[in-house]
Amino acid sequence: MDLPDEATICAAIPGLSSLALIARGGQKVVYRATHEVFGDVVLKLILADNDDRLRREIEAVSENRFSNVPAIYHTGRISQAGQGSVYLIEQYIDGDTLRSMLVGCQGLPLLTALRVLRDLLRTAVELERCRLVHRDIKPENIIIDGAGKVWLLDFGIARHLDKASITATVQAFGPATLGYAAPEQLRNLKRQIDIRADLFSIGVVAYETIAGRHPFIAGARDRFEVIQRTESVEPPRLTIPGDSRGLLACFVHQLMAKQVSRRPATAQQAMEWFAAVLPTVQGVQLTETQ
Amino acid sequence: MMDLYLQFGYHMKSLCIELIERWGGGTVILSPRDLNPDQLRRAAKEVVDAGGNTHVDPQLYDPRADHKTLQSHEYFPKAYSTDMVTDGASLRRWLQSLQRLNDSARTSSYILPGRYGSQITADWLAYHDRIVDEAAAILRDKPRLATICLSEETLRSEEQVEDILAAAEEWDVAGYYVVAEHPRGKYLVDHPAWLANLLFLCSGLKLHERQVVVGYCNHQMLCLAAAHVDAIASGSWINVRSFSTRRFNQPAVSDISQRAVWYYCPQALSEYKIAFLDFAAQRGILEYIMADPDLGSDYAGVLFAGALPSSTAYDEGLSFRHYLQCLRAQTCATVRSSFRETLDAQYRMLETAEQTLMFLREYGIRGQDRDFADVVDVNRAALNYLEESRGFQLSMQWEHL
């Protein structure tokens, strides 16, 4: 089965033009495009036989409105020669991925890193209210726009805690990105997976953004060592300029705790701890509007 | 504030009433093992009339226990089978009989049945899930505390403690009643990992923002203040100051084999036999063993009035009263306004005990198997672990706990 070509897509979705390829996989393709009503948009297209995850993403984002998640404008199906594909059109964010910003640098300025941390925590609070876990928070899925706003993308493996799981319970490893997924997520321990799995990933992203090196991947021989480090090795203690009492470093490490019970109990609690820690960091002024 | 509950033991009724009246209130955890149904009802009435609260520990740690007094209670299984928990109707009947027991004892909270397990297994977790779920439907008229009964082996395993924390978080209860088997049956625990994991578990349970009561404690458990535990429970004999399931299979009196009279020296966190107080008097250092009057115990005053301690009327009853009065004063003063201050107070208490013990040892004064010298470092190590593992969480949440 093939995905439809660009001409077929434009013909099937009225008002869509100027498709530019962003990414292509075997079952999925992502374009930047222009829509006559919505302006600049992102179009995601996936083979209908593999649409569970796209459906989950559509449900997660369109049923809820998150401040730091691109809005979904429209969804539909395209048929071509008896084959079906599902698509969604979402808000285009003009910015850079956190991954691209991290390449070749020794960590981002502390103010930027703190903004990323704060905005991810805010998003986690909103996800928690909706009983959602993103499960794939990583620099590739984070965009910082021209105004400095942090956006979280790709709810393809998000899970609603009150809905049946797509992943088989007996599967040894759950859907995850190595190095960012929490130990309980890696091991597919569903009873233990909740927003604290996302807090773990946020901790890893914060660590990498501040230190400029990944706490588990840097220097690892192979993926098995990444898993082993994620599950059992405490990363080197963060040293952060201005963090004279060491509380910010403590907070980031607490987010990345191996055991669920050592992380903040909720995203709201994590946000409150962050708010308490922030004034102890000297030399940065992070205001509400920044 | 951490409170001291009275863990009811053999012949403790008059002591409980007296202390409840003296303290202007308090909570007694009644023991069906030590009170038959009539006695339990009468004791509960007297405690409540004296201004106290009651709980009943159902003591179902081993539902096959054959203790005669335990077996005299309607709720206690005469022929236990796992069907009692797996079959919904049987479980409901069981919990209803527990409800009748609690009604007769005028309890302010339910303590739910919890089973001793040498390991935390899927079966153990399922057993407790079932009881907690069914109790949420039936025992709705007052707060419910889930019992977490820990074997010595369980408390040596960080992984098993995590399993308990993950499961307990999901339970629909107002709090937890934790009882922990002491390693090798020792009164004072000399195993740092055991104590460290108990602190870790209790602080984790407390971070669920629910009540945590730890049963069968002695003064070594004052360190639980650093986990912001709500109450520890203690009593007269050592079999209610340290937990062992053996107690529920033994005849009522025979376990009280050594009836020596002890004196608790709070500043040394140690207890001494009267013969050693005689020796301290002979060496001219008896006054250093005397409890600080601020702790409010006048029960042991006779020991320090000038006569040889062994010639005074200080007896086992005064010994228990003195211990519990001092322990209560120490317990109530342990939780401070922040985690840091509480922890520092714990370290200072250990430092004071260590110095006092060194001084007393120079004169040959020893507490034998109740001497704290060998476990000062155990408590230090456990507190240090708590600071490392939970310090940040507890510091952040202290005011909300």
* Average pLDDT, consecutive stretches of 10 residues, N- to C-terminus, chain A (290 residues): 80 90 83 94 82 74 86 87 84 95 92 96 96 95 95 90 66 78 89 92 98 94 94 94 94 96 96 96 79
**For range B303-319, the mean pLDDT:** 96
Q: Counting beta carbons within 10 angstroms of the beta carbon of residue A167, is it exposed (0 to 12), middle (13 to 18) or buried (19 or more)?
A: middle
**For range B95-115, the mean pLDDT:** 96
Chain B residues touching residue A254 (CB < 8 angstroms): 392-393
What are the CA-CA distances from residue A204 to residues A200, B353, B388 (Å)? Answer: 6, 43, 20
Same domain, B269 and B339: yes
CB B201 within 8 A of CB B226: no
Q: Measure the CA–CA gap between B300 and B319, rounded to whole angstroms.
A: 7
Eight-class DSSP state of A238: P
Residue B398 within any structural domain of the chain: no
Catalytic residue among A2, A52, A94, A136: A136
Chain B residues touching residue A269 (CB < 8 angstroms): 396-397
Chain A residues touching residue B204 (CB < 8 angstroms): 261
Among B221, B249, B277, give the residue marking a domain's end: B249
Same domain, B208 and B326: no
Q: Measure the CA–CA gap between A152 and A150, rounded to whole angstroms.
A: 7
Same domain, B214 and B280: no
Evaluate if residue B77 carries a pLDDT over 90: no
Query: What element of type H or E holds B73?
Result: none
| Neighbour count for residue A280 (Cβ, 10 Å) | 14
Q: What is the CATH number of the domain that holds B30?
A: 3.20.20.80
Same domain, B242 and B282: no
Number of residue pairs across A and B with CB atoms under 8 Å?
29
Two tokens, residue A233: 């090795």
Chain B residues touching residue A273 (CB < 8 angstroms): 396
Eight-class DSSP state of B375: T
Nearest alpha carbon to residue B67 among B241, B255, B240:
B255
Angstroms from B177 CA to nearest CA on chain A: 19
Among B249, B277, B308, give the residue marking a domain's end: B249
Q: Measure the CA–CA gap between A92 and A20, rounded to whole angstroms.
A: 12
ipTM score:
0.84
Same domain, B33 and B112: yes
Eight-class DSSP state of B15: H
Please tell me if residue B206 touches chain A, with a CB cutoff of 8 Å: no
Task: Give the tens place of pLDDT for each residue, B358-371.
Answer: 999 999 999 999 99
- Give pLDDT, residue A57: 76
CB contact under 8 A, A261 and B204: yes
Domains (ranges, CATH) in chain A? 6-91 (3.30.200.20), 95-280 (1.10.510.10)
CB B231 within 8 A of CB B209: no
- Give pLDDT, residue B253: 52
Residue B218 within any structural domain of the chain: yes
- Give pLDDT, residue B78: 82
DSSP states along B22-57: HHT--EEEE-TTTS-HHHHHHHHHHHHHTT-EEEE-
Residue B326 within any structural domain of the chain: yes
Same domain, B96 and B219: yes
Domain that holds residue B363: 262-373
What are the CA-CA distances from residue A190 to residues A1, A125, A161, B131, B368 (Å)? Answer: 33, 20, 9, 22, 50
Same domain, B134 and B168: yes
Interface test with A, best of B393, B395, B397, B401 (most A CBs within 10 A): B393
Residue B17 within any structural domain of the chain: yes
Residue A82 makes CB contacts below 8 A (sequence gap 6+) with none
Same domain, B229 and B281: no
Residue A136: active-site member: yes
What are the CA-CA distances from residue A198 to residues A120, A137, A205 (Å)? Answer: 9, 7, 10
DSSP states along B181-221: BPGGG-SS---HHHHHHHHHHHHHHHTTTSEEEE-S--GGG
The percent of residues above 90 in pLDDT, for chain B, comes to: 89
| Neighbour count for residue B22 (Cβ, 10 Å) | 14
Evaluate if residue B57 carries a pLDDT over 80: yes
Angstroms from A52 CA to nearest CA on chain B: 29
Angstroms from B152 CA to nearest CA on chain A: 21
CB contact under 8 A, A192 and B166: yes
Residue B384 within any structural domain of the chain: no
Interface residues of chain A, partner chain B, Cβ below 8 Å: 191-192, 247, 250-251, 254, 259-262, 264-265, 269, 272-273, 276
CB contact under 8 A, A254 and B392: yes
Nearest alpha carbon to residue B111 among B86, B135, B81, B80:
B135
Q: Measure the CA–CA gap between B271 and A114, rounded to whole angstroms.
A: 54
Among B202, B223, B249, give the residue marking a domain's end: B249
Residue B82 within any structural domain of the chain: yes
Nearest alpha carbon to residue B197 among B218, B176, B183:
B183
* Number of independent structural domains in chain B: 2
The alpha-carbon radius of gyration of chain B (Å, integer) is 21
Nearest alpha carbon to residue B331 among B162, B205, B213:
B213
Angstroms from A189 CA to nearest CA on chain B: 11
Q: pTM of the predicted model, to two decimals?
A: 0.91
Residue A174 makes CB contacts below 8 A (sequence gap 6+) with A135, A167, A181, A185, A186, A187, A188, A190, A193
**For range B111-127, the mean pLDDT:** 94
The nearest alpha carbon in chain B to A262 belongs to: B390
Nearest alpha carbon to residue B92 among B153, B57, B137:
B137
Q: Measure the CA–CA gap between B231 and B25, rounded to whole angstroms.
A: 14
| B residues 367-396 closer than 8 Å to A (CB) | 389-390, 392-393, 396
Task: Give the tens place of pLDDT for each residue, B82-100.
Answer: 777 888 888 999 999 999 9
Same domain, B111 and B208: yes
**For range B33-60, the mean pLDDT:** 97
Same domain, B231 and B278: no
Residue B393 within any structural domain of the chain: no
Same domain, B229 and B351: no
Greater confidence (B101 vs A173) lies with B101
Task: Give the tens place of pLDDT for each residue, B269-288.
Answer: 999 999 999 999 999 999 99
Q: Counting beta carbons within 10 angstroms of the beta carbon of residue B310, is it exposed (0 to 12), middle (13 to 18) or buried (19 or more)?
A: middle
Same domain, B74 and B206: yes
Angstroms from B165 CA to nearest CA on chain A: 7
Residue B83 within any structural domain of the chain: yes
- Give pLDDT, residue A69: 94
